[in-house]
């Protein structure tokens, strides 16, 4: 035995925590299974036969290996939403952006290390509408021996909010793409896979029953895995203390209602400060524009130990669907923790000042119902998915797959927010393109996302891959560089990976391009992504291997 091996073994024996095996192995078998929800039965595509799928557990600094085997008829990829993927873009997952799909019968092992992050994230399919049933939680614990910056809860519970269609979700989006109209909204919302006790089909279904003891604290790791809907979340008779969003700590604040958009996560502490009883948990949609949503409320229960089985459940009234003020109150309460240990490193000097309009459009379509189809765009470009992966094209210098002329500003300036009504452009057509925006390694970017009133103003939860960003400002109407930037919060703005662009308003974010690769930016309402509300940044390598993309793994799928 080599002497150093002997020393290592001795250290391992004396201090197991120091050399704890930090590689976590998972196997994801993508399989079809039949399931019954809402009194109807249909086959769904799942990971390991589970809905929602398995939770990934890891610690900060762990290396995570997930072997994905595709046993279904669809092409599949999995995205580890919010994981920074420093220099490991090959393992990010969006189909045709960072990889070709894992085809039926194929296998791919995702391999990434979690650096500088702790909290709750989610994983989900990133191709077609498979995300509807292929999703699950990611729990990143702090390094061993490092406490939370808040009292340790008695127990932690992963709470996954979802959306359920009675029909096959691929049939739903295919029908919409043929007609050119909006897809059918879902038939129910779910909490951990179930519509809950108030649903007529709940008896056989079970659902989340959170067992608590009076006087103790519980941490809910809440994930919005819905396809198309922002959700309010409430617990009857209880306030919630928010401590973390998108795997970054926040200044704790107490609220009776949370707002979580698709792709966002929130850790909230529930203090069991009642003596006994059952209390309803409710997840209901937020939509403050004239757009149809699924108005069903998903429910679950908090159950105190010692509660009589005959005791009635305390109910809660969900906020009205159009409760903009409740949504704003929640969003405006969010701040980075910005402590000595967890400072908010907000970029102050900007290399790029970008303004991206996000919204809808209408293009001609001779085979569609109205002779036109609804589309969506960023800076008037409806993104066209390539048939080859952008990251591979970038790394191997393959030309003809994308261009790097994505406009940094709207090609035409107009009254973006369309308020007063009638002031949006009459010509609602968009351009097509697979256009990327190029950044040097370590460049600083300020990006203002401006909603448009074309067709209708609407909230857009925009997600950036490969980075966290700071939300430095937010407002209604058209962004004014002169007036609005004066009011930016550069001290303790919330840090996240998915941000809601307010209906008829704007949000300003800042990030540092310290991760080489090709990084997708898109609306996390799946319907808008499908319609083209997406683009990508290409970040060049910096100096030396520590600032460069690692070479592709040998099992990277091809196309
Ligand atoms: C699902 O149910 C259908 C008919 O209801 C059946 O033909 C099929 O074999 C089932 N599939 C699985 C995976 O159990
Ligand atoms: C995972 O990727 C790292 C490089 O980021 C590499 O060193 C390691 O060997 C890979 N692990 C496996 C099992 O392929
Ligand atoms: C969408 O809804 C319409 C109207 O209810 C219905 O006719 C159609 O079958 C639905 N489409 C799918 C794919 O379920
Ligand atoms: C929740 O907090 C608010 C404001 O602090 C307070 O007025 C209310 O009584 C609290 N509700 C419960 C159920 O503790
Ligand atoms: C939900 O929408 C349906 C159809 O638009 C409507 O019939 C129903 O009353 C609504 N339910 C609630 C609780 O608003
Ligand atoms: C919200 O919708 C209700 C009816 O559904 C309406 O009465 C109310 O005026 C709306 N509130 C706002 C702020 O738009
Ligand atoms: C498009 O078609 C739908 C359904 O036929 C109809 O309700 C809608 O008014 C039409 N929209 C336009 C802009 O023609
Ligand atoms: C734009 O791209 C879509 C496919 O994404 C295609 O169906 C459409 O014909 C294209 N339109 C133009 C004007 O090229
Ligand atoms: C791609 O081009 C860059 C710059 O010209 C070069 O450094 C790199 O080696 C090329 N990569 C491949 C895989 O050919
Ligand atoms: C978007 O592009 C289309 C096609 O070039 C053009 O007709 C339209 O005026 C543009 N609209 C805006 C708002 O830039
Ligand atoms: C990135 O730029 C900042 C200044 O904006 C500088 O302090 C830092 O050293 C740079 N980092 C790298 C890795 O180049
Ligand atoms: C799967 O992806 C490959 C590579 O892009 C493509 O050629 C094939 O048509 C896709 N298969 C299906 C079933 O979509
Ligand atoms: Cu959107």
Ligand with minimal distance to 541 CA: 9
* pTM of the complete model: 0.95
CA atoms 103, 106, 112, 118: torsion sign: positive
Q: Mark whether 369 and 227 lie in a shared domain.
A: no
Measured CA to CA, the distance from residue 82 to residue 76 in angstroms comes to 19
CA distance 441 to 517: 10
Whether ligand 12 lies within 6 angstroms of the CB of 255 is answered as: no
Ligand nearest to the CA of 325: 6
Residues 465 and 393 both lie in one domain:
yes
Answer with the one of 274, 301, 333 that is the final residue of a domain: 333
Residues 290 and 253 in one domain: yes
Q: Does residue 134 lie in a domain region?
A: yes
**For a substitution probing ligand 2, which of 67, 111, 551, 554 has the most ligand atoms within 8 Å of its CB?**
111
Reported as a single tens digit per residue, the pLDDT across 321-342 is 999 999 999 999 999 999 999 9
Instruction: Identify whether 558 is part of a domain.
Output: no
Please report whether residue 305 resides in a domain. Answer: yes
What separation in Å is there between the alpha carbon of 1 and the centre of ligand 2?
25
pLDDT digits over 496-510, tens only? Answer: 999 999 999 999 999
pLDDT, one tens digit per residue, over 434-464 is: 999 999 999 999 999 999 999 999 999 999 9
Ligand 3 atom at minimal distance to the Cα of residue 166: 14
Alpha carbons 251 and 244: distance in angstroms, whole number: 8
Q: Which pLDDT score, from 0 to 100, does residue 2 have?
A: 53
Q: Which domain holds residue 267?
A: 155-333
If asked whether residues 65 and 7 sit together in one domain, one would say yes
Is 148 within a domain? no
Give 488's contacts (C-beta < 8 A, 6+ positions apart).
Answer: 472, 473, 508
The atom of ligand 1 lying closest to the CA of 33 is 13
Question: Does the pLDDT of residue 475 top 70, yes or no?
Answer: yes
**Based on the domain organization, do 389 and 313 belong to the same domain?**
no
Q: How far is the CA of 384 from the centre of ligand 8 (A)?
A: 8
- Would residue 74 count as lying in a domain? yes
The domain boundary residue, chosen from 118, 141, 164: 141
Q: Of 141, 166, 193, which residue is a domain's last?
A: 141
The number of the ligand 7 atom at minimal distance from the alpha carbon of 370 is 1
Domain check: are 97 and 182 in the same one?
no
* Residue 54 maps to a domain: yes
Residue 347 lies inside a defined structural domain of this protein: no
Note whether 13 and 159 are same-domain residues.
no
C-alpha dihedral (548, 550, 556, 559), degrees to nearest 10: 20
Which pLDDT belongs to residue 429?
Answer: 98
Q: How far apart are CA 74 and CA 131, in angstroms?
A: 12
Kindly state whether residue 205 falls inside one of the protein's structural domains. yes
> Which ligand 1 atom is the nearest neighbour of the CA of 32?
13
Same domain, 217 and 322: yes
User: Are residues 19 and 135 part of one domain?
Assistant: yes
For the stretch 236-265, pLDDT in tens is 999 999 999 999 999 999 999 999 999 999
Residues 277 and 383 in one domain: no
- The average pLDDT across 519-543 equals 98
Q: What was the pLDDT predicted at 6?
A: 56
The torsion angle over the Cα atoms of residues 407, 412, 416 and 422, rounded to 10 degrees, is: -150
CATH number at residue 289: 2.60.40.420
Q: Ligand 2: does its nearest atom lie under 6 Å from the Cβ of 65?
A: yes
Residues 403 and 309 placed together within one structural domain of the fold: no
Which residue carries 């391999």 as its tokens? 111
Ligand 6 interacting residues, C-beta cut-off 6 A: 320, 322
In this structure, the answer to whether residues 174 and 263 fall within a common structural domain is yes
Ligand 4 center to residue 361 CA distance, Å? 43
**Number of folded domains in the chain?**
3
How much is the mean pLDDT over the chain?
95
The pLDDT assigned to 16 comes to: 46
Contacts of 356 (CB under 8 A, 6+ apart): 378, 379, 410, 447, 448, 449, 450, 535
User: Cα torsion for 453, 402, 387, 122, to the nearest 10°?
Assistant: -60
Give the model confidence (pLDDT) of 404-417 as tens digits. 999 999 999 999 99
């Amino acid at each position: 035995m080599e002497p150093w091996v002997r020393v290592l073994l001795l250290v391992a024996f004396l201090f197991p925590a120091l050399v704890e095996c930090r590689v976590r192995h998972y196997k994801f078998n993508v399989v079809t299974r039949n399931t019954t929800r809402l009194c109807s039965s249909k086959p769904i595509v799942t990971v390991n036969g589970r809905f929602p799928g398995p939770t990934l557990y890891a610690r900060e600094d762990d290396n995570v290996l997930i072997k994905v085997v595709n046993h279904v008829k669809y092409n599949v990829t999995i995205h580890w939403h919010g994981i920074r993927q420093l220099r490991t873009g090959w393992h990010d997952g969006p189909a045709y952006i960072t990889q070709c799909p894992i085809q039926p019968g194929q296998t791919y092992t995702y391999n990434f290390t979690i650096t500088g992050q702790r909290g709750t994230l989610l994983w989900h399919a990133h191709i077609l509408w498979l995300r509807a049933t292929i999703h699950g939680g990611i729990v990143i614990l702090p390094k061993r021996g490092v406490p939370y910056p808040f009292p340790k809860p008695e127990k932690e519970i992963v709470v996954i909010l979802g959306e359920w269609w009675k029909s096959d979700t691929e049939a739903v989006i295919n029908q919409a793409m043929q007609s050119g109209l909006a897809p059918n909204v879902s038939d129910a919302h779910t909490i951990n896979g179930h519509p809950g006790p108030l649903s007529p089909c709940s008896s056989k279904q079970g659902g989340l029953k959170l067992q608590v003891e009076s006087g103790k604290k519980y941490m809910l790791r809440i994930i919005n895995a819905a396809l198309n809907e922002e959700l309010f979340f409430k617990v009857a008779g209880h306030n919630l203390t928010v401590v973390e969003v998108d795997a970054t700590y926040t200044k704790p604040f107490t609220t009776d209602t949370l707002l979580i958009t698709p792709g966002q996560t929130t850790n909230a502490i529930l203090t069991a400060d009642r003596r006994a009883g059952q209390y309803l948990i409710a997840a209901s949609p937020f939509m403050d524009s004239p757009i149809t949503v699924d108005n069903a409320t998903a429910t679950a229960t908090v159950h105190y130990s010692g509660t009589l089985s005959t005791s009635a459940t305390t109910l809660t009234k969900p906020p009205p669907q159009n409760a903009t003020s409740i949504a704003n109150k929640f969003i405006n309460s969010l701040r980075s923790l910005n402590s000595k240990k967890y400072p908010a490193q907000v970029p102050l000097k900007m290399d790029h000042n970008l303004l991206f309009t996000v919204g809808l459009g209408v293009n001609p379509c001779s085979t569609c119902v109205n002779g036109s189809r609804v589309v969506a765009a960023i800076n008037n470009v409806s993104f066209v998915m390539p048939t080859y992966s952008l990251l591979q094209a970038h790394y191997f210098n393959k030309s003809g797959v994308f261009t790097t002329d994505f406009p940094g500003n709207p090609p035409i300036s107009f009254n973006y927010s369309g308020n007063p009504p009638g002031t949006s452009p009459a010509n609602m057509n968009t351009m097509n393109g697979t256009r990327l925006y190029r950044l040097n390694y370590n460049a600083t970017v300020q990006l203002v996302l401006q909603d448009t009133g074309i067709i209708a103003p609407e909230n857009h939860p925009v997600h950036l891959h490969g980075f966290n960003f700071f939300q430095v400002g937010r407002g209604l109407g058209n962004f004014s560089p002169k007036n609005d930037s004066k009011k930016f919060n550069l001290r303790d703005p919330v840090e996240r990976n998915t941000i809601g662009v307010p209906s008829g308003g704007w949000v300003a974010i800042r990030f540092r391009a310290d991760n080489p690769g090709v990084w997708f930016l898109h609306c996390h309402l799946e319907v808008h992504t499908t319609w083209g509300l997406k683009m990508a940044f290409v970040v060049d390598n910096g100096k030396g291997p520590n600032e460069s993309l690692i070479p592709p793994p040998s099992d990277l799928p091809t196309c």
